[in-house]
Chain A
């Protein structure tokens, strides 16, 4: 059992190491996915030996020294094989190896005796792999965006695949793209429009969704079951199907190129989910609370404002966040309904700029960063509410 476990452990950890080092190599050298040049067999042999050596040495040497020694040996061999590469590449390899050796450190020869230990190891590394891989997929484009936005036109033309940021230059030059998009491309106005539209959508959606969700959750009225089950029907239609008839209607009503028009469409598309999320939460609030409130001489309106809303802050803020993100990032409707640059939202403005061959790429990327950042900050700040709001009600607290 132990031999089998040892071999499986070494294999899994080695593959994990190969994955890490390969990604680093691809990124650092930008040579594409050429298997041959990755020296996979060297990494494989070394990784395998490292994990075995790790088990052999166990805790005879302090963990930190052990990790450093292993990493140094690997960097030495790897650097020897790929001599052309600069120092920062080798530092990266060293850090990866250090991370890897400290990761495998929690497994020792003793724990491999247990029968299920291979499962534990497999799931451990799968989780790690998942986290690293998907965060890479998501974060890398954002990093690209950020880096490009800090570049000058010349730097971009000389080496478009340079992923480093030159902090040596003047701050004014570093943020030049951002100054330019605000000055020459009126991004301030777009941000204002987007903010008005998004915040407006949030307010209007909540204004309608809270009473509606309360009604669906609590009151008995004709057609209640039909209404509550058909709330989500709107999502059966792709937005592109709705957009064309809406276009004709909005053209005739003169709602194109207006914030009001966008508010109407956005509210209509976010309202169902908002009602759906809120009514689930409202149902989880004990009915006795409202009955106690009735005996306390509260009206229906009072019950909603003084009891339901304060108790539903988590759900309401997660709905608000969701609606804000939808409205802020929405693209299809703004593309169709806005064609006057004076009423552009941010995402529409980016599209407009990218359609223009004259717009330098770094400005485009600076604009993209500006679109992304507010949502990112809001999300990080409200994340705790979002999580508790989405799961609340599933288990009685």
Chain B
């Protein structure tokens, strides 16, 4: 039950500018995921909220209280680290109760809180164990439990799942999602994994080199990317981006693409370079589509339920995700509604 507000945040390490003019308004009880390639400043942002990193410029508010100068422990946040950061010399119970013990809370209260957190995370039978006797998933659970006992207004997750193996990661992802539904608190989650971002988030913040590229719900991000970076960042394989040069722009609202003339509605194209994006899952292997082209198929990867076809058409390299049941012929088709058009700077051109 908190809202968080970033106003004009700047941060640099030496001459290296990490974050420039970051502004964002978080809603109440929202699960916010910061996602971006490594080095984009997402972890730094999280650490600034927690108070582990100084804020060079700008202000962060939690519930309209400015937290810039507050001591980390007074910001009512709790952080879950990538490396878990459990105290190796304490058992699970002591790990979870440590913060409360430092605050000198009464024993009954500590016990109640630890037990409650342990119950939520189903780690009641592990309380006597030391961290080294736990598996990776259990350690992460304990780390989350430690955060819960602090009763924070905002949970901060710093790539909590990247030390786990694939199966466990999927399992923990579901657990974290359930946890958010159960305890209904603001969560800010940093990851470089787009699957985690898409599945967990209420809203996704896509960062690139310290700038926000787009903020939106997973649906908005997927269906309505605002630029090439966002379009390519979400989705596997990456969205196909085809460069359209001046020659292929036939008129103000029509272009020549993969051998087809494509007519747009009410847009005005100037005679300059443009980009067209088509998600690989929208390239279909049938001839009944609105537009078709005949590429040279270079490689087919079979993933079981689907196949990924890598192909070449003129100078373009494309990939298509095709259900396994479909036969891959050398006629590939796509629909008009699946085309994304970007200008020469990579910004989306909407009709």
Chain A positions within 8 Å of B, measured between CB atoms, are 286, 288-289, 291-298, 302, 307, 310-311
Contacts and interface: CB of A to CB of B under 8 A. Distances in A.
A296 B88 contact: no
B22 interface: no
Is the contact region of chain B dominated by helix, strand, or loop, or is it mixed?
A: loop
A296 B85 contact: no
Contacts of B89: 310-311
Contacts of A302: 102
B83 A296 contact: no
A3 to B, nearest CB: 54
A302 to B, nearest CB: 7
B37 interface: no
B26 interface: no
B77 interface: yes
Contacts of B187: none
A291 B82 CA distance: 12
B310 interface: no
Interface string B96-126: 0011001100000000000000000000000
A385 to B, nearest CB: 15
B102 A297 contact: yes
Contact of B78 (A295, A298, A310): A295
Contacts of B98: 296
B61 interface: no
A295 B73 contact: yes
A23 B103 CA distance: 68
Nearest to B156: A295
B237 interface: no
Contacts of B77: 295
Given A291-B52, A310-B89, A311-B89, A297 B103 contact: yes
Contact of B72 (A286, A289, A294): A294
Interface in B69-83: 72-73, 77-79, 81-83
Contacts of B99: 295-297
B87 interface: yes
B73 A292 contact: no
Contacts of A291: 50, 52, 79, 81, 85
B79 A295 contact: yes
Given A294-B52, A295-B50, A296-B102, A288 B73 contact: no
Given A302-B102, A310-B89, A311-B88, A295 B72 contact: yes
Contact of A286 (B50, B73, B85, B102): B85
Nearest to A287: B85
Max chain A CB contacts within 10 Å: which of B51, B88, B103? B88
Nearest to B82: A288
Contacts of A288: 81-83, 85
Contacts of B79: 291-292, 295
A292 B150 CA distance: 12
A334 to B, nearest CB: 39
Max chain B CB contacts within 10 Å: which of A296, A298, A310? A296
Contacts of B88: 311
A311 B86 CA distance: 12
Interface residues of B, number: 22
Interface string B3-35: 000000000000000000000000000000000
A8 to B, nearest CB: 47
A298 B72 CA distance: 10
A296 B81 CA distance: 13
A204 B200 CA distance: 54
A289 B85 contact: yes
B98 to A, nearest CB: 5
Contacts of A289: 85, 87
A291 B84 CA distance: 11
Name the 10 nearest CB pairs between A and B, nearest first.
A297-B73, A288-B85, A296-B99, A292-B85, A310-B89, A288-B81, A297-B102, A294-B72, A291-B52, A288-B83
A317 to B, nearest CB: 14
Interface string B294-329: 000000000000000000000000000000000000
Contacts of B85: 286, 288-289, 291-292
Contacts of B83: 286, 288
B142 to A, nearest CB: 12
23 contacts: A286-B83, A286-B85, A289-B85, A289-B87, A291-B81, A291-B85, A292-B85, A292-B146, A293-B87, A294-B51, A294-B72, A294-B73, A295-B52, A295-B78, A295-B150, A296-B99, A296-B102, A297-B73, A298-B102, A302-B102, A307-B87, A310-B89, A311-B88
A292 B72 CA distance: 10
Nearest to B100: A296
A173 to B, nearest CB: 52
Given A291-B81, A296-B99, A302-B102, 9 more contacts: A292-B79, A292-B85, A294-B73, A295-B52, A295-B77, A296-B98, A307-B87, A310-B89, A311-B89
A310 B72 CA distance: 23
A85 to B, nearest CB: 59
A233 B343 CA distance: 63
Contacts of A310: 89
A296 B50 CA distance: 11
A315 to B, nearest CB: 14
A53 B89 CA distance: 58
Nearest to B147: A295
A115 to B, nearest CB: 42
Interface in B120-164: 146, 150
Nearest to B103: A297
Contacts of A297: 73, 99, 102-103
Interface in B242-280: none
Nearest to A285: B88
A307 to B, nearest CB: 7
A93 B82 CA distance: 64
A288 B46 CA distance: 14
Contacts of A307: 87
A329 to B, nearest CB: 33
Given A288-B85, A289-B87, A310-B89, A296 B73 contact: yes
Contacts of B103: 297
A291 B48 CA distance: 12
A368 B10 CA distance: 68
Max chain B CB contacts within 10 Å: which of A286, A288, A292? A292
Nearest to B80: A292
